[in-house]
């Protein structure tokens, strides 16, 4: 019988991969895994506990109804980061502003974490998969001082680690530190994440596309042309492709990562800058996609090259298998040239 590798063992074994490794990043990844196990427990009980499920009554900064579990997950991760000592500050999709931890202990932390505690939370009530997405940067401000907004607004290319937790039929944690992507499945019987998907590679071409097609008529021409391409019949290229849209980014992305595919959320009249948030959702998944051989773009620019201007910035987002993303980008370019 082959030996099971737990996430902890794996993180420790890989510690030498990090520049200036002193164990802090390893401890931080471990903190994330512990917090995600607590959130897993809460997510699994959500249908049972009326007090947990349902709208909190508040609105987040983007005017969306906050679900109770969003708030619970947010608090859980923040508590863990504040207590750990590796992190000097955080920014979260659920909070209007970033939080600089004020104890001397935390001010010595070298890292900041940007995260979406519970993505796809409008799906909680209907029992569909949801996820946590996180992104880790080295601070640019001085160790010992308070974290600054500049620490939070680094371009995605500066990430030193990123990952997501998918609360699906099983809980999975997938992460990268820039040396490939590895996936771990939580074994509830022993409470450990076990290496189940080593060295994940995204197939160069898939045959599933993922988009809220309710938006197709209000999308730009290049996107319309690509969806039309996906729907055309051509046995030689295995088309038509299948449409698959869960409406939970982590779950839709996870499927593309494993099977090959593409996820598209363009700008629309109701979301003129795009729907998804650059620093909490797009950057971490873009880092993972590229590490697995895929691509992530706005349609005009590589996501990881964008310098964020504000915390809750949104962008049009296209992510997935290399050849599929390249095709959309070409069609967008072509449509824009014709328009000029």
Which residues make up the interface to ligand AHM (CB under 6 A)? 64, 93, 116, 119-122, 212, 247-249, 275
Range in contact with Mg ion (rule: CB under 5 A) among 56-64, 115-123, 210-218, 229-237: 115-123
User: Cα(250)–Cα(256) distance, rounded to whole angstroms?
Assistant: 10
**Among Mg ion, ligand AHM, none, what binds residue 64 when CB lies within 5 to 8 Å by partner kind?**
ligand AHM
**Among Mg ion, ligand AHM, none, what binds residue 275 when CB lies within 5 to 8 Å by partner kind?**
ligand AHM
Q: Which two tokens stand for residue 155?
A: 């371009």
Pick from 70, 82, 119, 290: which binds Mg ion (CB under 5 A)? Answer: 119
Q: Least Å distance between CB 254 and ligand AHM?
A: 11
3-state secondary structure the chain: CCCCCEHHHHHHHCHHHCCCCCCHHHHHHHHHHHHHHHHHHHHHHCCCCCCCCCEEEEECCCCCEEEHHHHHHHHHHHHHHHHHCCEEEEEECCCCCCEECCCHHHHCCCEEEEEEEEECHHHHHHCCCEEEEEEEEECCCCCCCCCCHHHHCCCHHHCCEEEEEEECCCEEEEEECCCCEEEEEEECCCCEEEEEECCCCCCCCCCEEEECHHHHHHCCHHHHHHHHHHHCCEHHHCECCEECCCCCHHHHHHHHHHHCCEEEECCCCCCCCCCEEHHHHHHHHHHHHHHCCCEEECCCCEHHHCCCCCCCCEECEEEECHHHHHHHHHHHHHHHHHHC
User: Cβ closer to ligand AHM: 123 or 177?
Assistant: 123
User: Cβ closer to ligand AHM: 260 or 266?
Assistant: 266
User: Cβ closer to ligand AHM: 11 or 257?
Assistant: 257
User: Cβ closer to Mg ion: 26 or 36?
Assistant: 36
User: Cβ closer to ligand AHM: 99 or 118?
Assistant: 118
Residue 234 sits at φ, ψ, to 5 deg, of -160, 95
Instruction: Tell me: does residue 151 bind Mg ion (CB under 5 A).
Output: no
**Among ligand AHM, Mg ion, none, what binds residue 274 when CB lies within 5 to 8 Å by partner kind?**
none
User: Cβ closer to ligand AHM: 122 or 141?
Assistant: 122
**Among Mg ion, ligand AHM, none, what binds residue 187 when CB lies within 5 to 8 Å by partner kind?**
none
Q: Least Å distance between CB 83 and ligand AHM?
A: 25
User: Cβ closer to ligand AHM: 215 or 291?
Assistant: 215
Q: Least Å distance between CB 26 and Mg ion?
A: 27
Q: Least Å distance between CB 337 and ligand AHM?
A: 29
Residue 139 sits at φ, ψ, to 5 deg, of -65, 150
Range in contact with Mg ion (rule: CB under 5 A) among 100-108, 109-117, 145-153, 240-248: 109-117
Q: Least Å distance between CB 276 and ligand AHM?
A: 6
Query: What is the sign of the dihedral through the CA atoms of 278, 296, 138 and 73?
Result: positive
User: Cα(101)–Cα(106) distance, rounded to whole angstroms?
Assistant: 6
Instruction: Tell me: does residue 24 bind Mg ion (CB under 5 A).
Output: no
Q: Least Å distance between CB 166 and ligand AHM?
A: 11
Q: Least Å distance between CB 63 and Mg ion?
A: 14
User: Cβ closer to Mg ion: 116 or 192?
Assistant: 116
Instruction: Tell me: does residue 116 bind Mg ion (CB under 5 A).
Output: yes
Residues that bind Mg ion (CB under 5 A): 116, 119
């Amino acid at each position: 019988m082959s030996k099971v590798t737990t996430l902890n063992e794996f993180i420790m074994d890989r510690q030498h991969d990090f520049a200036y490794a002193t164990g802090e990043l390893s401890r931080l990844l471990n903190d994330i895994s512990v917090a995600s196990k607590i959130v897993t427990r809460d997510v699994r009980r959500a249908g049972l506990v009326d007090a947990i499920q349902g709208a909190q009554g508040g609105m987040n900064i983007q005017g969306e109804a906050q679900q109770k579990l969003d708030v619970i997950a947010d608090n859980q991760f923040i508590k863990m980061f504040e207590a750990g000592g590796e992190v000097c500050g955080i920014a979260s999709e659920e909070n209007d502003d970033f939080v600089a931890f004020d104890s001397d202990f935390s001010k010595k932390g070298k890292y900041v974490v940007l995260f979406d505690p519970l993505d796809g939370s409008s799906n909680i009530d209907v029992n569909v998969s949801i996820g946590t997405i996180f992104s880790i940067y080295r601070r640019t401000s001085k160790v010992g001082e308070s974290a600054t907004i500049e620490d939070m607004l680094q371009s995605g290319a500066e990430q030193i680690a990123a990952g997501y937790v998918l609360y699906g039929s099983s809980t999975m944690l997938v992460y990268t530190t820039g040396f490939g992507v590895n996936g771990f499945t939580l074994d509830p019987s022993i409470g450990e994440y076990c290496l189940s998907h080593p060295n994940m590679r995204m197939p160069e071409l898939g045959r599933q596309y993922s988009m809220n097609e309710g938006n197709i008529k209000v999308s730009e021409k290049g996107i319309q042309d690509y969806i039309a391409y996906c729907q055309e019949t051509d046995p030689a290229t295995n088309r038509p492709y299948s449409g698959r849209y869960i409406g939970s980014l982590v779950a839709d992305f996870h499927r593309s990562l494993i099977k090959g595919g593409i996820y598209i959320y363009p700008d629309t009249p109701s979301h003129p800058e795009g729907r998804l948030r650059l620093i909490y959702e797009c950057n971490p998944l873009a880092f993972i996609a590229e590490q697995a051989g895929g691509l992530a773009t706005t349609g005009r620019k590589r996501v990881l090259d964008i310098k964020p201007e504000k915390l809750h910035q949104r962008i049009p987002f296209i992510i997935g298998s290399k050849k599929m993303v390249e095709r959309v980008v070409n069609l967008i370019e072509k449509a824009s040239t014709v328009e000029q």
